[in-house]
Amino acid sequence: MAVSASNVAASTVAALGATETGQSHPAAACTADPAVIQQSLKKYIRWYPEDEVTGSNIHNFFSLTCNAARGQKVLVGLFYENYAIKSRSRFLEVLLADPLSEYSSQWYQHLQERSRVQNNLVAATETSQLEFPATFRRTLREYNVPAPVLSGEQRPQYGDVLQPPQTAANDVALLEINSPDEVAKVAELCHFFVYVTADLSSLKDALPKAIQKKILLTVVDNSEYTPRSAEHTAVAIQSDLMQHVVKTDSACLLRGISELYQRGIDGASTYFEAVQSSNILEVRKYLLWYLRSENLRGWLLALIKTEISTNRVSVAHIHAVYSDLKLSTLVRCSEAMHTELQRDFVPRTNRFFRTKFAWYMLYLCNDNVEYALKDYLSTNFMPKSIDNYNYTKGQLVARLQEQKYAHYSETDRAQLQSPLHEFKRRLVDFPLASAFVHYQLPMSVISVVGYLYFGVQAQTAGAIAALGWVLGFNRVSRDWLQFTAAWLARLYEDVRVVLARDCVEKGLMKELNLLYAAALNLARIKRQVLDELNGSDAANGGT
């Protein structure tokens, strides 16, 4: 992590690199028109509604913009690297302490005695407008503390080293999160985080990215070498840095505060020395600077742009994916389906008709013949191709809907049922064997009716019935091979048409083109949003 404070501990400077001193100006300067920024951010929320982290930052940005003239309450999350640091550090109470004010000892003592298990919300004014998840609210204890750091009206301005504010002062609510697992629950609610650690370890890398990015200030709090700072000490706030590091010694200031409360005026010199030695004033200057709406807006906008850029899928990548799907994936799918037709389905079906569906089965099995054919088609009709079609369709969606958090409407997809599956359904329902019933019945019916109603003798009626069946046999045996050959040829040709036209051309290819157009549109919208946020005129196309 880069270091922005000019007076970090010597060992930290050696590890991270020196920084320049003196005043610099924050976040900056965006050349885009404010109205354009507002519209661009609204556009992003509309097209990427599932990006809740960026969406919350955008809503905070809007709120700071709308309330610039009257101020608002900024929610700052504070959490610790681990339990040991949380137990040892006194950062929160010394940051808020105001021992020179009358009656401050009482609320200061309450802060010292606060729970280190529950989450604590510390504010100088009403906090009812802050909404927390119900499960988080149940573990939250609130403290009303008239600390100057928390009040926009009473907060020191450090006019010798910081420029005057351009907007109304904001109050702050400081949310101490004592359970590491609950930090993520309020990540979207907090404007930024303060992270307290004993050293610049790599443990922060284990935090979720959304939390890491929202850490504006890392406080290295231990009793090792700490640079001094006074009210007139300049602080280097580098606008190109998203995260800053300050070294403090809260234990040192804790002793100074206790000395002042216990000894009164006699302990004042010890207290003032501890204030400078603890470097707490640099933390307050950082907080003062970023609690100003204009500076916090700049930081949030830079964070928003970073998040949008990080999750960006380029137009060039979409072109490459489209070409690969069209020239490789769809071709393989088509070849596999035609291969199954030629090598599996056609030989297997011909063999079934020869061995299991001979002409005499119409008489021996009667209606069971039709059921046998339906069972065969239900089990053996192009099963690999049906699965391959569905798998390929899923591949199209997975590879062309890569824009993280984007809104994909139903119109972005063809939403076609599998043509093979639909063809199979119609095929199974077709009563093939019933076409041959007329071969058997006519003369048999005549014999039965003659016997029952016209006095035809039983022997004669039997002869007529037998003649009907024999004639039926002769006709079926003569026409069956010709009929089944023609029917199968038509079936195979229909399947080829379904594969080439319905599955590929009007199915997968149509869906591929729809997904491709939607992916390009989302990529161009994201590119346009970034260009507009950066004040660029190039708001169309590109990579």
In one letter, which amino acid is 313? V
Residues 193, 103: Cα–Cα separation, whole Å: 30
Q: How do the domains of the chain map onto residue ranges?
A: 10-21+73-293, 315-533
Q: What is the pLDDT of residue 479?
A: 60
Proportion of the chain above pLDDT 90, given as a percent: 53
Q: DSSP H helical segments within 67-154, as ranges?
A: 83-88, 91-96, 104-112, 134-137
What 3-state class would DSSP assign to 219?
A: strand
Is the pLDDT reported for residue 45 higher than 50? yes
- Per-residue pLDDT of 203-224, as tens digits, reads 677 888 889 999 999 999 999 9
Q: Picking from 9-23, 74-88, 390-404, which range would have the lowest pLDDT averaged per residue?
A: 9-23
* Alpha helix (H) residue ranges in 162-292: 209-213, 250-263, 268-278, 280-291
Tokens 């137990």 correspond to what residue?
87
Q: Tell me what pLDDT residue 214 has.
A: 94
The CA-atom distances, in angstroms, between 150 and each of 8, 125, 293 are 25, 8, 15
User: Residue 32 in contact with residue 535, Cβ under 8 Å?
Assistant: yes
* Per-residue confidence (pLDDT) for residue 356, from 0 to 100: 78
Dump pLDDT digits (tens) for 55-94.
999 999 999 998 888 889 999 999 999 999 999 999 999 9
User: How far from 532 is each of 45, 91, 234, 265, 527, CA to CA, in Å?
Assistant: 15, 41, 35, 58, 9
